[in-house]
Amino acid sequence: MLDELLDKWALRFPPDPALKGSYVGRFAPSPTGPLHMGSLVAALASYLDAKAHQGRWLVRMDDLDQPRCVPGAGEAILASLTALGLRADGEVVWQSRRHAAYRDAFEKLRKAGAVFACACTRREIADSRLHPAERGRETIYPGTCRNGIAPGRAPRAWRMRVDQTVTRFNDRWQGEITQDLASEAGDFVLLRADGQWAYQLAVVVDDAAAGVTDVVRGADLIDSTPRQIFLQRALGLPTPRYLHVPVVTNAHGEKLSKQTEAAPLDLAPSAIKVAIQQAAKHLFG
């Protein structure tokens, strides 16, 4: 079954001969619930692309946002991958155990003057009318603390200072993507007010540490990619190639996630083939 899909994938995305053998890909779910069809599609696509290149496929648990993580969900996802025949080529990395690496990267950026302390509350940023442009539900940071925090205020979060350059990359599925970080993302958080490392920083540090050459994931993360590329450049890290697969939506057009009550996959031995076929249908039509 997987072999047949591998041929299909390789026809659609011919492997780069230069990457044969050196390719490193990864699947990085957030353990906020059991594996659902949306995450299976991302897992399968990243697996097929790695294997089409005769490369390595790694699994990482993006479990930094502890309040959102569900105890045991990570282990359950790993068991599901095993049941599906998707075997990781290496030890599973858990982001919750990698604080020291994120701290090192943050200190490097801080010493370079690339970050600044921010005293703003969520409410203050939402109420700001300086830059009313909104992207999704996120309000663009108005730059209040860029040149220092106001007297009497205490730092809450630390933000990455973005510049005026337009970030562009060529996505292997979606084509050329451009984003003006200053107007479309703004100075983004690296260390949150609750002391948690931001997703953007952790992903960049971990992908580089694992030598990831190719990121294959759901298109819901495509808006994050320019921020990640900006961070890679600031840290002197290589930028991987990107492929964002269309997200799986429910009947209401919402992305499948725990919030939209995506059904857990039925991974009884008799149901595995059907699950993989459904995921393949999403990828290949």
Binding site for Zn ion (CB under 5 A): 118, 120, 144-145
Rounded least distance, CB 4 to Zn ion, Å: 53
Residue in this structure with the two tokens 């149901």, named with its chain if needed = 271
- Bridge partners of residue 243, in order along the sequence: 216
Phi, psi of 96 (to 5 degrees): -65, -10
Decide whether 120 or 160 has the Cβ nearer to Zn ion: 120
Rounded least distance, CB 205 to Zn ion, Å: 24
How far lies 115's CA from each of 9, 135, 250, 262, 270, in Å? Answer: 41, 22, 39, 37, 52
Rounded least distance, CB 118 to Zn ion, Å: 3
Q: Which two tokens stand for residue 240?
A: 């991987």
Q: How far apart are CA 268 and CA 273, in angstroms?
A: 10
Q: How far apart are CA 35 and CA 264, in angstroms?
A: 6
Residue in this structure with the two tokens 């971990």, named with its chain if needed = 206
Decide whether 109 or 262 has the Cβ nearer to Zn ion: 109
Residue in this structure with the two tokens 């510049």, named with its chain if needed = 163
91 DSSP 8-state letter: P
Decide whether 145 or 190 has the Cβ nearer to Zn ion: 145
Q: How far apart are CA 43 and CA 26, in angstroms?
A: 8
- Bridge partners of residue 216, in order along the sequence: 243
265 DSSP 8-state letter: P
Rounded least distance, CB 101 to Zn ion, Å: 26
**Catalytic: 8?**
no
Decide whether 106 or 141 has the Cβ nearer to Zn ion: 141
Residue in 20, 258, 273, 281 annotated catalytic: 258
Decide whether 86 or 118 has the Cβ nearer to Zn ion: 118
Beta-strand relationship, 214-218 and 24-27: parallel
Decide whether 189 or 204 has the Cβ nearer to Zn ion: 189
Rounded least distance, CB 145 to Zn ion, Å: 3
Tell me the three state secondary structure of residue 129: coil
Residue in this structure with the two tokens 């990828």, named with its chain if needed = 283
Q: How far apart are CA 189 and CA 207, in angstroms?
A: 19
Rounded least distance, CB 167 to Zn ion, Å: 22
Q: Give the active site residues.
A: 258
